[in-house]
Amino acid sequence: MTTTYAIIGGTGLTRLDGLVIRNAEVIETPYGPTSSAILSGKYAGRQVMFLARHGHPHRIPPHQVNYRANIWALRQAGADQIIAINAVGSIATGLETGHFCVPDQIIDYTWGRKHTFFEDELEQVTHIDFSHPYDANLRKRLIAAVAAHGFACKNHGVYGCTQGPRLETVAEIRRLERDGCDIVGMTGMPEAALARELGLGYASLALVVNPAAGKAAGLISMHQIERALSGGMEKVGKVLARVLSA
């Protein structure tokens, strides 16, 4: 059985260079509109879908992304494996700007987001096992692809997902560090849980674009983040091509 991959692009990845687009589909969902059209085509010799999480151009803040519509539409379009690209801040020692992390755990600090498909007109209450939020086999493929290119990577870690759109305070980062978080971002949840609810394989390729608050001298500069994104997305493309062509 052929695997159909979908890539969800985050901040800095509103399009996928090298994707030969065959179709751009706007799928109507019971949960409202998706962030952007689902692009389908060939990438690295394989059929793949691409969706820009924040829209194209980048305009939807993390707390207003329609995660339910995005995940539902990708499943409807035929995806069964999702690679999520996340731009994150680093908390763990040794994780520097430009490094990758392939997290294996997540802590959800968000609030008020539509975080489940199982809430209206249910025949019975539904729970999912979310002990291990990321697909183990897809994680292994991402880790192998990063290693093949020699890119620095933390092969496990805890993703702390905050509400946004503001960046965190120093005290909040200290709390996340005490909780065991290695990286911090704003889009990891409820995306991962929604994929699990629909039975989709899901893994994150997180690119460090800045030290988290208090982890470096001075304030966090958006210019520095943009520069890190510009350089890092070329590496993201190489990793994705390796995974898809394997």
List the binding residues for phosphate: 11, 53-54, 187
As a whole number of angstroms, the distance between CA 170 and CA 172 comes to 5
Give percent helix, percent strand, percent coil of the chain, each to the nearest 5.
30, 25, 50
CA distances from 151 to 156, 207, 216, 232, 236 (A): 15, 11, 22, 11, 10
What residue type is assigned to position 3 of the chain?
A: T
State the DSSP H helix or E strand holding residue 117, giving kind and residue range, or none if neither. none
Q: Extract the annotated binding site for substrate.
A: 186, 210-212
Question: If you search the block for the tokens 């990708």, which residue do you land on?
Answer: 74
Angle at 124 between CA 121 and CA 127, to 5 degrees: 110
> C-alpha 237: how far from its chain's center?
14
Pairing mode of beta strands 46-52, 38-43:
antiparallel
Q: Extract the annotated binding site.
A: 11, 53-54, 186-187, 210-212
